[in-house]
Structure 1
Amino acid sequence: MKPNQCRMGRAALNWSTQELARKSGVGANTVNRFESGQDARVSSVDKMRKAMEDSGVVFITEGETSAGGGPGVRLSK
């Protein structure tokens, strides 16, 4: 997960950084630092990603769509 995907995933779920932090078990400062492009522990990023995936976010890698776009997110059906 890239920082911009984290922001997009939160937006899709209508979650604040504090809500993502609470649901993933990491600190709000960790979420803010990661989304601003600073380093974060892989374990923290994994926890944030899992919390969003468990709530219906699907992470799309670069070129995964037929349009060949960049990385993104979508909500599962």
Structure 2
Amino acid sequence: MDTISAAQVRAARGLLNWSRDELVTVSGVPKSTLVRFEDGATAPRASTITAIRKALEAAGVEFIPQNGGGPGVRLASAHQE
């Protein structure tokens, strides 16, 4: 499943130390769309979520699904400092 939450996206950007502008550049998602999603104002299309997810995963983020402890994010082993 490609669904990720706004909180996961914000956390992933934090792990990577990326600004919204950096994610916009890498994902190709319009900044206004990213801002509305992260602020909880709108639910973007599946294609938008996929673009955001792929950009963050390519940078080394792993999305952790809801598994009793809640969804989350972490850096993949190869990208950890």
Say yes or no: TM over 0.5: yes
Equivalent residue of 1:73, what SS? strand
Deviating above 2 A after TM superposition, structure 1's stretches of 4 or more consecutive aligned residues are none
Compute the TM-score of the two structures, normalised by the length of structure 2.
0.86
Residue of structure 2 equivalent to 1:34:
37
Q: What's the C-alpha RMSD, in Å, of the aligned pairs?
A: 0.8
Deviations 1:42-70 (A, max 9, x none): 1011101000000000000111xxxx311
Residue of structure 2 equivalent to 1:43:
47
Equivalent residue of 2:74, what SS? strand
Kindly, what percent of the aligned residue pairs are identical? 48
Residue of structure 2 equivalent to 1:5:
8
Partner Cα distance (1:17, 1:29) in 2: 10
Structure 2: runs of 5 or more not aligned: none
**Matched positions, count:** 73
Per-residue deviation, 1:75: 0.1
Compute the TM-score of the two structures, normalised by the length of structure 1.
0.90
**Structure 1 residue 58 corresponds to structure 2 residue 73:** no
Partner Cα distance (1:46, 1:54) in 2: 12
